[in-house]
Amino acid sequence: MNNLKLVIFAFFMALIVAIIHFNKQDLIVLFAEPKGALSTRIIGDDFPFILYDQTGISFTLMKPPMRIASTTLMTDNILSVLVNQNRLVAVCNLVDNPQLSNIVNFYAKSIPRIRGEIESILSLQPDLIFISSFTSPDTVRYLLHSHIAVVRLSEFNSIADILNNIRLIGLVTNTQAKAKTLMTSLHNKLNELAKQVKNKPKFRVLYYDLNGYSVGKNSLMDESIRLAGGINVTSGILPEGENKISEELAVSLQPDVIILNQGGLNQSQEKSTAKTILKNKKAWENVPAIKNNRIYTVKSAWLTGISQVHINAIIAIAKLLHPRINIQFLAKTKKKDKHVQ
């Protein structure tokens, strides 16, 4: 009899836990670690659009937004090409940081720079808010329940992702024509670059910062090295995306070329260049890239950029790998794309 009571008690407890879990499922999803694409789905061919977040929350955007809050440097960059500044009520607080931004002093000082705090965003009364997968879960949860249009972008691992983000931003801001022009320009540059490097030697490249990070396959920098006509030596060695790499492993890969992120310096190293620091390390002295003086730094804002500006990193790497390639096509298009610097 006692055993039967225990079984019944256990059954009811399990049932209660299941009910609680079911009722809080939507809340749990908001705080869960990203599992695949979390980018907002935009449903419709024209206004009104339905903005469908992967948490199941949706919002109907009735007309083109005129009070846009951009909380990410990536959307700041894309919006700089697509929309007039008078439609923006806020941009990211990093937009004027020369280490990270390609559009320093582009936006008027009268436009607030925000860190993404909920109160700061809502006080500006935006009618569209751009966030990303880097936005804190608390902020995401609150904004999605604020009855304001929210577009969350979460894919940044390839050129295709960048192009799709430009397309989505163009769609919801009613600037499809400008978005198409920008995407076409990027396509043309990459196609021309592919022709330039097609029959050139494939040098083995290590992307590295002095904090000990590099990139595995299925990452934007991995693709960038390939598009520039190189081979990423850590592809298949490191896990996908950006990862820590030991100095011993980096040296053992014996790269022909090293691309350094100058932004990877810590405070104690800032008086020197990343190139000088690495060249003076004895452990690296027999690495082919060091012996042949093929160690280069590329502008940090280009390397880490996840918008249209990243094309500059690809072209810069290609020119470092193959100094004789003709990149005059880029000079011809700079005047048209003044923000693809």
The per-type count for the chain, helices as H runs and strands as E runs, is 14, 14
Domain boundaries, the chain: 30-154, 199-334
Residues of the chain with confidence (pLDDT) below 50: 1-2, 5-10, 12-36, 267-268, 271, 333-336, 338-339, 341
Beta-carbon neighbour count of residue 259 at 10 Å?
Answer: 29
- What fold does the segment set 199-334 form as a domain? Rossmann fold (3.40.50)
What is the CATH architecture assignment of 30-154? Answer: 3-Layer(aba) Sandwich (3.40)
Q: Same fold for the domain at 30-154 and the one at 199-334? A: yes
First to last CA, the chain: 79
pLDDT tens-digit profile of 283-301?
A: 999 999 999 999 999 999 9
Which pLDDT score is estimated for 38? 76
Full-model pTM: 0.84
C-alpha distances in angstroms, 250 versus 122, 237, 269, 289?
A: 46, 10, 20, 12
For residues 281 and 285, give the distance between their C-alpha atoms in angstroms, rounded to a whole number. Answer: 7
- Tokens 């929309």 belong to 83
Which pLDDT score is estimated for 27? 31
What is the token pair recorded at 97?
């940081």
**DSSP for residue 259:** E
Which pLDDT score is estimated for 274? 85
For residues 295 and 153, give the distance between their C-alpha atoms in angstroms, rounded to a whole number. Answer: 34
C-alpha distances in angstroms, 103 versus 23, 100, 284, 307?
A: 45, 9, 36, 12
For residues 228 and 201, give the distance between their C-alpha atoms in angstroms, rounded to a whole number. Answer: 11
Which pLDDT score is estimated for 213? 95
C-alpha distances in angstroms, 300 versus 24, 196, 221, 265?
A: 42, 24, 12, 11
For residues 322 and 196, give the distance between their C-alpha atoms in angstroms, rounded to a whole number. Answer: 9
